[in-house]
């Protein structure tokens, strides 16, 4: 990817200049850049897959778990899905300029509150090259520039994808530096990026607790964490047990290496003797390694369940491993979730509306589900086209980070000569 700047500071400064142009650009120009991106992804799919194959063959990727290698790997279908995602973002309503409030002040000034872009977004992410495209599409549509820093073991894939977006921006007569990458440099470059006050308006780290800690130690720019997902499925005493089996297996197995996959299964003691042997058998048949508390192990039947350590309840496995516990009530399930969860996604399976409401009200998380898998916490599933990540914070955004989450607002007052006495 051709980049004219060299240092982190220079690239962020270039992004800042590009952000000012993009913020003032018409919706049609930004949509044209997205249309060109989708088209070029189709035309250059072979080059992208070649770059990805080189990343997978590189020694830097040799030690990755199977789940992480799956997150890194691209296929023709995944590249096409990226293009479809870009088209979906382009089709969404432009949030920039949206009027949030209007009123006339006592002075006669007409005051409006309107959405405006944040400016420059820095995103730090691991493994998944599709994040390069998702993030670029969302920031372009919302009038922001973006500085991307992906994993070293995905460097070729990310570079090929970012080059496509930069070419599309130029084709739409928008500044290429609205999308730029910071490669290499290790922790020093990461720290430098996190300290670009005056150039970077918001940093979004997508990754585990290690990345979160590394950013927290040094960041001087505002940070919104799209961090770990230690998600739970709780099967209540009044659950439809066949439904519960489907949801528990889907939440763990459908794609185990992502942040909205379930890591812990909680089973109500009232139905544990009937339910545990069946669901644990399902999970073991699907290749899931199981660890559990003493009550779970006693009820496991033929399923092999190891002893869970205290650390297991706090671990985001990102793979085919799951912790299982038996609890005595909704309140105990909520207490467990809030003690060990990361504020991402939590699910209850129950036919009781009252139990569902107690669980939903009690769990501290960005997304709570009743009789559905945690796997639905996703910007695409939520109709956002794509997402930059899932915020586990409460300010300024929570849950999937889409177009509106990448905006702030300003007040605009229109008068006819008013002065304040």
Q: Please identify which residue in the block is written with the tokens 């939440």.
A: 251
| Rounded Cα–Cα distance for residues 245 and 248 (Å) | 5
Could you tell me if 145 and 16 are in contact, meaning their C-beta atoms sit under 8 angstroms apart? yes
Contacts of 379 (CB under 8 A, 6+ apart): 134, 385, 386, 387, 388, 400, 401, 402
Distances (CA, A) of 171 to 32, 40, 132, 160, 406: 8, 11, 19, 17, 24
Cis omega before residue 396 (within 30°)?
A: yes
Domain residue spans of the chain: 8-227, 231-376
Interaxial angle between packed helices 27-43 and 155-171, expressed in degrees from 0 to 180 and rounded to the nearest 10: 130
**Segments in the chain below pLDDT 70:** 1-5, 185, 227
pLDDT in tens, 245-272: 999 999 999 999 889 999 999 999 999 9
Q: CA triplet 62, 64, 69: central angle to 5 degrees? A: 100
Name the DSSP class of 105. -
Pick the CATH number of 231-376 from 3.90.950.10, 3.40.309.10, 3.40.50.300, 3.40.50.1820: 3.40.309.10
CB 12 within 8 A of CB 120: yes
**Structural tokens at position 184:** 């290499």
- Which CATH architecture group holds 8-227? 3-Layer(aba) Sandwich (3.40)
Q: Tens digits of per-residue pLDDT, 209-231?
A: 788 888 988 999 999 988 689 99
């Amino acid at each position: 990817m051709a980049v004219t700047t060299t240092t982190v500071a220079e690239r962020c400064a270039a992004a800042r200049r590009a952000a000012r142009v993009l913020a003032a650009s018409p919706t049609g120009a930004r949509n044209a850049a997205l249309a060109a991106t989708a088209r070029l992804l189709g035309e250059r799919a072979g080059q992208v897959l070649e770059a990805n194959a080189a990343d997978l063959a590189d020694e830097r990727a040799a030690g990755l778990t199977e789940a992480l290698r799956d997150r890194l790997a691209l296929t023709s279908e995944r590249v096409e899905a990226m293009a479809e995602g870009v088209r979906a973002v382009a089709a969404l309503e432009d949030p920039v300029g949206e009027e949030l409030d209007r009123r006339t002040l006592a002075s006669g000034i007409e005051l409006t509150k309107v959405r405006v872009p944040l400016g420059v977004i820095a995103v730090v992410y691991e493994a998944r090259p599709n994040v390069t495209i998702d993030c670029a599409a969302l920031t372009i549509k919302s009038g922001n520039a973006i500085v991307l820093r992906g994993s070293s073991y995905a460097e070729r894939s990310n570079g090929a994808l970012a080059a496509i977006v930069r070419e599309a921006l130029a084709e739409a007569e928008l500044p290429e530096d609205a999308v730029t990458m910071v490669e290499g440099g290790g922790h020093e470059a990461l720290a430098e990026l996190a300290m670009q006050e005056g150039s970077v308006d918001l940093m979004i780290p997508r990754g585990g607790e290690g990345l979160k800690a590394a950013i927290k130690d040094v960041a001087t720019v505002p940070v919104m964490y799209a961090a770990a997902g230690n998600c739970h499925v709780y099967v209540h005493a009044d659950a439809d047990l066949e439904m519960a089996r489907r949801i528990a297996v889907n939440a763990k197995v459908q794609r185990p290496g992502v942040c909205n996959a379930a890591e812990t299964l909680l089973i109500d003691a009232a139905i544990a003797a009937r339910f545990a042997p069946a669901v644990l058998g399902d999970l073991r048949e699907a290749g899931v390694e199981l660890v559990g508390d003493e009550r779970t192990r006693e009820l496991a039947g033929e399923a092999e369940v190891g002893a869970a350590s205290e650390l297991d309840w706090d671990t985001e496995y990102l793979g085919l491993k799951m912790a299982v516990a038996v609890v005595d009530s909704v309140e105990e399930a909520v207490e467990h979730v809030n003690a060990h969860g990361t504020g991402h996604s939590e699910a209850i399976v129950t036919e009781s509306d009252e139990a569902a409401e107690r669980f939903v009200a009690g769990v501290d998380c960005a997304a709570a589900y009743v009789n559905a898998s945690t796997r639905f916490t996703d910007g695409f599933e939520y109709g956002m086209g794509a997402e930059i990540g899932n915020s586990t914070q409460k300010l300024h955004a929570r849950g999937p980070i889409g177009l509106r989450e990448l905006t702030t607002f300003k007040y605009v007052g229109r008068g006819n000569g008013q002065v304040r006495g």
